[in-house]
Amino acid sequence: MADEGSLLADVDRQIERVVHTFDDPVADALSPLAASGSRHRARLVLTLAAMGDRAAAVRGAAAVELLHLGTLVHDDIVDRSPRRRHLPTLHVAMGMPVALWTGDGLYAEALHLADAVSPAGGLALGGALRRIADSQVLEALGVTTARYWDVVDGKTVSLFEASFALADEAVGGVLPIEVGDAVRAYGRLFQYVDDLHDIGGEPDAMGKPTGLDTDNELQTLPAADLVVSTDEVRARLRTLADPVRRAVAGLPWDRYFTGVIDGMLGAADGVLDANAPAPR
C-alpha cells in the first residue's frame, strides 16, 4: 500500500466528496470543519490495514472520520460550544436545526461507506454509533465517576474498536487479537488525556473552549484524580498506557503505538506542568 500521506489525501478527498453532497451553504460551513482535525482514527485504520486492500482501507478510514465528525456536530450543540477546530461550530454558523440534521446525514454517509468495505464493517460501525448514543444518554442523565469507564467505552472506545474492525476487514480478517486489545486500551487512554485537556489545556492550542465538562456538570476521572494530586494523574496515565505497550510488544505495529502513546503522554505532561501550583 502507498505511504500514509498519499492515503490520507485519498481519505480527505472521500470526505470532501461526502461534504459536497450537502447543499450550499451547508457544505461551505461544513467543509473547513471536515478538512481539519487530527485524523487519529483514520491513521489507525490505515496503519492496521497497511498490507490490505487500499480502496477498502480508505473507505473505512473515511467512514470512521465522518461518523466522528457527526458526533462532534451533535456534541457541540449539547455543550453549547461556539468553536471547534478554531472555527465556528456548525450550529453557530447555520443554526441548530441545520446542524442536527447535518449530523444525522453524516452518520448515514459514514454507514454507507463502512458497508462498502464489507457488511461486517457496516455492522461494526453501526454498533459503534448505537454505543455512542447510549453512552451520551448515560452521561446526560448525570453519572458519577464510578461509571466513567462505561461512558468512555461507549462514546470513544467503540469508535476505535470499529476502526480496528474495518481495518481487519480490509486485510481479510487476519489482524491478531492482541492488536484489538491494544486499540481498546488506546481508546481509553485517548479519552482520559482528552478530558485532562478539558480541565487544563490551552483553548488556542486545542481550537475549542476548555472547561466544558465542568460547565456541563460532568464528573470525569481526571478531575477526580487531580483532586488527589498530579502524581495520581501520572500514575493513572502509566496504568492506561502499559496495556497498550504490552499488547503489541514484538508485533509489526509496536512502533506506531509507541509513537502515539508517547505523544499523548507528552501532551498530558504539558498540561500537568502548566497547571502545577507555584512553589511557595
Contact (Cβ atoms closer than 8 angstroms) between residue 73 and residue 90:
yes
Q: What is the mean pLDDT of residues 157-171?
A: 98
How many CB atoms are closer than 10 A to CB 174? 8
Measure the CA–CA gap between 31 and 29, rounded to whole angstroms: 6
Q: Which three cell numbers stand for residue 245?
A: 505497550
Residue 32 has pLDDT above 70, yes or no: yes
Whole-number Å distance between alpha carbons of 68 and 149: 19
Residue 96 has pLDDT above 50, yes or no: yes
DSSP tag of 279: P
Residue 178 scores a pLDDT above 90: yes
The rounded distance, in Å, linking the Cα atoms of 130 and 138 is 12
pLDDT for 214: 53
Q: How many CA atoms lie within 13 A of 258 on its CB side?
A: 9
- Predicted pLDDT at 60: 98
pLDDT category of residue 208 using cuts at 50, 70 and 90: very low
| pLDDT for the residue numbered 143 | 84
- The yes-or-no verdict on residue 164 having pLDDT over 60 is yes
Could you tell me if 67 and 110 are in contact, meaning their C-beta atoms sit under 8 angstroms apart? yes
pLDDT band at 204 (very low <50, low <70, confident <90, very high): low
Alpha-helical regions (H) of 141-229? 148-152, 158-170, 177-200, 203-206, 212-215, 221-228
What average pLDDT does this structure show over 154-158?
Answer: 97
Interatomic CA distance for residues 164 and 155, integer angstroms: 16
Mean pLDDT across the stretch 10-32? 96
- Answering whether pTM is above 0.85, one says yes
pLDDT of residue 206: 44
Residue bearing the bigger pLDDT, 208 or 16: 16
Examine the pLDDT at 201 and tell me if it is beyond 60. no
Q: What gap in Å lies between CA 168 and CA 11, rounded to an integer?
A: 17
Three cell numbers written together for 227: 483532586
User: How many other CB atoms are found less than 10 A from the CB of residue 141?
Assistant: 7
Question: What per-residue confidence (pLDDT) applies to 135?
Answer: 96
Least confident range of 82-96, 148-162, 229-243:
82-96
* pLDDT attached to residue 216: 47
Q: What would the pLDDT profile of 236-258 be if each residue is shown by its tens digit?
A: 999 999 999 999 999 999 999 99
Phi, psi angles (nearest 5°) of residue 37: 105, 165
Report the alpha-carbon distance of residue 174 to residue 79 in Å, rounded.
40
In the structure grid, which three cell numbers stand for residue 14, read together?
472521500
Which of 214, 205, 209 has the alpha carbon at shortest distance from 82?
A: 209
Q: What is the pLDDT of residues 36-56, one digit of tens each?
A: 889 999 999 999 999 999 999
Q: Which residue has the higher pLDDT, 86 or 192?
A: 192
Q: Is the peptide bond before 25 cis (omega within 30 degrees of 0)?
A: yes
What is the pLDDT of the chain when averaged over all its residues? 92
Residue recorded with cell 494523574:
233
